[in-house]
């Protein structure tokens, strides 16, 4: 969809606001073109000595009254129109947000966060300006031009009016040439702003790492360069926009010289009065606005088009995970994977290659293996963050694709490797899993996740704000708050992705014991590097390079000769050394 179609559809939906602004503008145009005519009549009356003092005052009072009406109408149309244009901004932002919320990891892998933020702010502002300011300035400018030219032709003299039009084709040509450059320069400026945003976002997220690596100076220099590049691109766009002005100035001077020359000649010939020539020169002054409006409108439209060309592909991008499933409730049952193969986009090697397994409802599966083996990927497939290229995943004999995303994800509680906390209180972060959860329920799950005592020691207990991304909590506390949140969801399937890595083995054992006590038919998948976390699982699978290489009860695997047994002995030895 082009920008013009977008604006056209928006105008149709908000036609009352646009039409009433148009009517007000038409009245303004008529009034301001009537004023020079009236002044011309007053001048002719004075020259011919026809006007008394009282009559003169009355005529001037009409002019003043018209000025006041014009002022109020101008305020009214602006308020009316901007209120409508802001609605377009709100609509586009809501649309973008909905789209972003429904996209999957594959989308975010191809997009930069800072740039998406720039789209939601700067680019939408530019589209909003095109739908508001540009449409009305365009309408106003065109209307004023038509009315002024009409008054010049009918009210004064059509021959002089024709002279005025002579330089206009040159102006149109210059505008067309400038507009092309404004488009390119605006696009570059918006892109650079997106990159700058991205740098800010990344620097703020990684500020501790940058400091620890002593990279502040390098990051500052990099930021300085980007900021300078962005400013340069903006300046370049402004420079091109400024190029409209000389074209307007030249056209206006040429039109004035031609029209006044022709007008003066007609006055000498006695075919035009001095008053008419006065009106005419006032009309010439009124042509300034339509000409500047043309430049201004073209600038706004080109900026809007440049922004829309960045925004539209993101809004139109197909969802990276389809949501065509129709089964709206998950009845817990066995989980079954058959020959699942999945490679990340652009990756030659599959992260999972022919994985098959079956997990009965209510049982606990341990998922272990060397780093990069595909453990997290398997969990992501269960959550349908990605779809496998081949093979099948079933839950209670229903293909995962057949569930609606809402139903599937509502039935799974997932604690990822990096627990994400929002900048809210500890209690609110836990309660996110279930709206309306009571404080007692929140405290109960916090106890199960062995984090209650830590929370009680915080300055405001459960009401302590955790800062952005939970920055004020330790890694282990963040993990346990996230586990508490998952337990509150009370979903039939719980996925723990190395979610206990930052807690000590004793606390880990307590949490796992609580999980067993309160499992009530819940199926659990525990991914862990520490084998102690899966020692009590009903079954454990060892993944390596995307393949299942060992499978069985943890005790049997530990007694074998494979990767599990080696790791188990190594970790037992390390634990006994730590204890001594």
CA distance 78 to 297: 16
Among 316, 294, 299, 374, residue whose Cα is nearest residue 341: 374
Q: In the bound complex, what is the minimum distance in angstroms from residue 495's beta carbon to ligand ATP?
A: 12
Judged by CB under 6 A, the residue of 344, 461, 551, 560 near ligand ATP is 344
Q: In the bound complex, what is the minimum distance in angstroms from residue 369's beta carbon to ligand ATP?
A: 6
- From the list 131-139, 179-187, 368-376, 474-482, the region that binds ligand ATP by CB under 6 A is 368-376
Q: In the bound complex, what is the minimum distance in angstroms from residue 400's beta carbon to ligand ATP?
A: 17
Q: In the bound complex, what is the minimum distance in angstroms from residue 484's beta carbon to ligand ATP?
A: 22
- For ligand ATP, the closer of residues 329 and 371 by Cβ is 371
- From the list 7-15, 67-75, 344-352, 509-517, the region that binds ligand ATP by CB under 6 A is 344-352
- For ligand ATP, the closer of residues 282 and 373 by Cβ is 373
Q: What residues have CB less than 8 Å from 277, skipping those under 6 apart?
A: 260, 263, 264, 267
Q: Does 374 bind ligand ATP (CB under 6 A)?
A: yes
CA distance 428 to 485: 10
Q: In the bound complex, what is the minimum distance in angstroms from residue 175's beta carbon to ligand ATP?
A: 48
Q: In the bound complex, what is the minimum distance in angstroms from residue 355's beta carbon to ligand ATP?
A: 11
Q: Does 348 bind ligand ATP (CB under 6 A)?
A: no
Tally of CB atoms within 10 A around 10: 21
DSSP string, 99-167: HHHH--HHHHHHS-HHHHHHIIIIIHHHHHHIIIIIHHHHHHHHHHHHHHHHIIIIIIIHHHHHHHHTT
DSSP string, 302-318: HHHHHHHHHHHHHHHSP
Among 405, 368, 426, residue whose Cα is nearest residue 543: 368
| Cβ–Cβ under 8 Å, residues 443 and 364 | no
Q: Does 523 bind ligand ATP (CB under 6 A)?
A: no
- For ligand ATP, the closer of residues 269 and 371 by Cβ is 371
- For ligand ATP, the closer of residues 270 and 346 by Cβ is 346
- From the list 23-31, 38-46, 274-282, 372-380, the region that binds ligand ATP by CB under 6 A is 372-380
- From the list 56-64, 153-161, 364-372, 458-466, the region that binds ligand ATP by CB under 6 A is 364-372
The values of phi and psi at residue 287, to 5°, are -75, -15
Q: Does 389 bind ligand ATP (CB under 6 A)?
A: no
Q: 463-486 in b/e burial notation, b at 16+ Cβ within 10 A?
A: ebbbeeebebbeebbbbbbbbbbb
Q: Does 371 bind ligand ATP (CB under 6 A)?
A: yes
Tally of CB atoms within 10 A around 69: 13
Q: Does 474 bind ligand ATP (CB under 6 A)?
A: no
Judged by CB under 6 A, the residue of 305, 363, 375, 478 near ligand ATP is 375
Burial of 580 (0-12, 13-18, 19+ CB in 10 A): exposed
Q: Does 351 bind ligand ATP (CB under 6 A)?
A: yes
- For ligand ATP, the closer of residues 448 and 499 by Cβ is 499
CA distance 550 to 562: 8
CA distance 521 to 510: 19
Judged by CB under 6 A, the residue of 33, 377, 477, 479 near ligand ATP is 377
- From the list 41-49, 82-90, 269-277, 369-377, the region that binds ligand ATP by CB under 6 A is 369-377
Give the x-and-dash track for 185-204 against ligand ATP (CB under 6 A).
--------------------
DSSP string, 174-234: HHHHHHHHHHHHHHHHHHHHHHHHHHHHHHHHTHHHHHHTT-HHHHHHHHHHHHHHHHHHH
Total interface residues for ligand ATP by CB under 6 A: 12
Give the x-and-dash track for 301-340 against ligand ATP (CB under 6 A).
----------------------------------------
Q: In the bound complex, what is the minimum distance in angstroms from residue 83's beta carbon to ligand ATP?
A: 44
Residue with token string 């101008």: 74
Q: In the bound complex, what is the minimum distance in angstroms from residue 311's beta carbon to ligand ATP?
A: 25
93-100: long-range contacts at Cβ-Cβ below 8 A with a sequence spacing of 24 or more?
A: 93/120, 93/124, 95/315, 96/120, 96/124, 96/311, 96/314, 96/315, 99/314, 99/315, 99/317
The values of phi and psi at residue 272, to 5°, are -145, 140
- From the list 64-72, 183-191, 285-293, 373-381, the region that binds ligand ATP by CB under 6 A is 373-381
Q: In the bound complex, what is the minimum distance in angstroms from residue 106's beta carbon to ligand ATP?
A: 8
- Report the site for ligand ATP in 74-133 (rule: CB under 6 A): 109
- For ligand ATP, the closer of residues 108 and 422 by Cβ is 108
Among 186, 192, 199, 195, residue whose Cα is nearest residue 309: 186
Cα dihedral across residues 54, 56, 58, 61: positive or negative? negative
Judged by CB under 6 A, the residue of 372, 406, 467, 475 near ligand ATP is 372
Q: What SS3 class is residue 84? A: helix
Positions touching ligand ATP (CB under 6 A) are 109, 344, 347, 351, 369, 371-377
């Amino acid at each position: 969809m082009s920008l013009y179609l977008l604006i056209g559809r928006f105008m149709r939906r908000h036609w009352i606001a646009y039409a009433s602004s148009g009517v007000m503008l038409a009245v303004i145009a008529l009034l301001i073109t009537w004023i020079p005519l009236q002044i011309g009549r007053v001048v002719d009356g004075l020259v011919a000595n026809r006007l008394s003092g009282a009559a003169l005052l009355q005529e001037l009072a009409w002019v003043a009254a018209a000025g006041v009406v014009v002022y109020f109408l101008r305020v009214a149309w602006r308020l009316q129109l901007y209120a409508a244009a802001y609605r377009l901004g709100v609509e586009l932002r809501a649309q973008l947000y909905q789209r972003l919320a429904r996209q999957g990891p594959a989308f975010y892998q191809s997009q930069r966060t800072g740039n998406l933020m720039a789209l939601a702010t700067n680019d939408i502002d530019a589209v909003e300006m095109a739908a508001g300011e540009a449409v009305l300035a365009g309408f106003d400018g065109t209307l004023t031009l038509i009315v002024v030219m009409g008054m010049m032709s009918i009210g004064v003299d059509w021959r002089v009016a024709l002279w005025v039009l002579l330089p206009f084709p040159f102006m149109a040509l210059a505008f067309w040439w400038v507009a092309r450059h404004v488009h390119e320069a605006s696009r570059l400026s918006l892109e650079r702003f997106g990159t700058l945003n991205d740098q800010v976002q990344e620097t703020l997220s990684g500020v501790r790492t940058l400091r620890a690596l002593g990279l502040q100076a390098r990051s500052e220099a990099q930021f300085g360069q980007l900021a300078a590049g962005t400013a340069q691109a903006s300046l370049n766009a402004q420079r091109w926009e400024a190029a409209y002005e000389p074209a307007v100035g030249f056209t206006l001077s040429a039109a004035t010289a031609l029209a006044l020359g022709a007008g003066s000649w007609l006055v000498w010939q006695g075919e035009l009065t001095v008053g008419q020539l006065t009106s005419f020169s006032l009309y010439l002054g009124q042509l300034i606005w339509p000409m500047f409006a043309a430049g201004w409108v073209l600038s706004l439209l080109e900026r809007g088009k440049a922004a829309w060309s960045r925004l539209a592909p993101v809004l139109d991008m197909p969802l990276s995970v389809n949501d065509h499933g129709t089964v709206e409730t998950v009845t817990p049952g066995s989980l079954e994977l058959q020959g699942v193969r999945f490679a990340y986009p652009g990756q030659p090697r599959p992260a999972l290659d022919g994985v098959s397994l079956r997990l009965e409802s209510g049982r606990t599966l341990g998922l272990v293996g060397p780093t990069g083996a595909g453990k997290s990927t398997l969990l992501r497939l269960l959550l349908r963050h990605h779809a496998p290229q081949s093979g099948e995943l079933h839950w209670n004999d229903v293909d995962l694709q057949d569930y609606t995303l809402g139903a599937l994800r509502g039935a799974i509680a997932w604690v990822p490797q990096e627990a994400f906390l929002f900048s809210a209180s500890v209690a609110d972060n836990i309660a996110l899993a279930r709206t309306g959860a009571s404080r007692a329920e929140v405290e109960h799950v916090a106890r199960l996740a062995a984090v209650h005592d830590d929370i009680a020691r915080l300055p405001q207990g459960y009401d302590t704000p955790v800062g952005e991304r939970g920055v004020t909590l330790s890694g282990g506390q963040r993990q346990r708050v996230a586990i508490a949140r998952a337990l509150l969801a009370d979903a039939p399937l719980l996925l723990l992705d190395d979610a206990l890595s930052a807690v000590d083995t004793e606390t880990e054992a307590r949490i796992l014991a609580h999980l067993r006590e309160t499992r009530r038919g819940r199926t659990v998948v525990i991914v862990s590097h520490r084998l102690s976390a899966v020692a009590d699982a009903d079954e454990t699978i060892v993944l390596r390079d995307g393949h299942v290489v060992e499978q069985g009860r943890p005790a049997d695997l530990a007694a074998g000769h494979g990767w599990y047994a080696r790791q188990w002995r190594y970790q037992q030895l390390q634990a006994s050394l730590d204890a001594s």
